[in-house]
A = this chain, B = another copy of it.
Amino acid sequence: MARRRVGLWLLGARGGVATTAIVGWAAMKKKLTPPVGLVSELPQFSNLDFFNWGDLTIGGHDIRKTTLIEEAEKLRDQSRAIDGGLIRSVRTELRKIDERIRPGVLFNVGSTIRSFATKSLQKKEESPRQSIRRVQRDLRAFVKNERLDQVIVLNVASTEPQVKGSIPAKWDDFESLLEDGGSCPLPASSLYAIASLELGMPFVNFTPSLGSAPAAIDELARRNNTCHMGHDGKTGETLLKSALAPIFANRHLNIMSWVGHNIFGNMDGKVLDDPRNKKTKVVSKDRLLGEILGYDPQTHISIEYIESLGDWKTAWDHVHFQGFLGTPMALQFTWQGCDSILAAPLVLDLVRFTDLARRRGETGLLTFLASFFKSPLGTTQNNFVKQFQMLEDWAAATGD
């Protein structure tokens, strides 16, 4: 029997997360690195029929003029995040994928992201529908050129500004919006989502951008018998919050304030330095506390671009809580994580789990993937251990 060929189409394909995922995928294919950091490689998922790394082909969209090798070397030199020897041994793979990366979409991405784009992209004039058609042409060519059985589209592009204006709840009211750039509130991430779901390709949003979150886009996914999930990969501070907050809830300790300061210096940080883009992120990070605790303590979340840190996202959290007899106490933590290194394996995991769900005929939101996201769509479960139980339960029901 011929092996299935799966395609991963990355939006933001030359960004830090995508570059690290690509280097890591190539290294694992060659058995140069162990699968540390991959959820799909845990023993409890060993009975699942995942594709092998050798059966995956990668392409994508990006808006910048750079190369995967250049970006990988930046992660080596500025952040000591990726080993130089590893990069050298996968250069050929990086070059091959670079050739498959196509110019992306700049619609409603805000002036900061736009400023990073190539001149020719900045000049391009398209209606939203025209952008969608262009993306679909790229996706179809990917399928055809690489003879793929399945493509999963996954967004790791920079965070877009918050969407203003109301978004129709029904797909039928969307169509007209897409014809006119002037009145369409949707950002690029949603256009990509529409493009892929219309083709029946699953869409996964690893960023806090809007993507497939609108109900009408979920409707589109179901109409096309395909699936999607988001949003905002949970890799660091919020991951800790979703594990620590249940302690306070279950011990009946009253959280008076939870302050979180995040500093980092990668491209993501540069984009989030724009207050409009930052707002999208902060809303996503701040949601879960109230949902776990059942009340809203004072919170403060800051995200600051500190160039010297490169890809190292350092977070300091100060949790001030009241115990028995009103006594105030404190928990502080410092998280020093390499952003791309934490995110990249989850990207590869999500492709595997989504591919499997697609083969099983699941449609609409894949809520069993909640543990991967800061703001999982379709569920209010934010307790990490319980989210992970959802994944294990799905696997138990799915495996054979």
Contact = CB atoms under 8 A, between A and B. Distances in A.
A306 B316 contact: no
Taking chain A's interface residues, is the majority helix, strand, or loop, or is none over half, making it mixed?
Answer: mixed
A344 B316 contact: no
A300 interface: yes
A371 B247 CA distance: 10
Interface residues of A, number: 75
A329 B324 contact: no
A316 B83 CA distance: 29
Given A246-B388, A263-B259, A254 B318 contact: no
A29 interface: no
A316 B335 CA distance: 13
How many copies altogether? 4
Nearest to A263: B259
A325 B386 contact: no
Given A246-B243, A338-B323, A384-B246, A251 B37 contact: yes
Contacts of A388: 246, 250
Contacts of A240: 244, 247, 331
Nearest to A82: B325
Contact of A308 (B257, B304, B342, B345): B257
A258 B250 CA distance: 25
A216 interface: no
A222 interface: no
Contact of A318 (B37, B84, B314): B314
A33 B344 CA distance: 32
Nearest 10 pairs of A and B residues by beta carbon: A256-B308, A37-B324, A385-B385, A333-B333, A327-B341, A324-B345, A257-B308, A316-B316, A332-B334, A37-B323
6 contacts: A24-B324, A80-B328, A84-B84, A259-B261, A259-B304, A300-B306
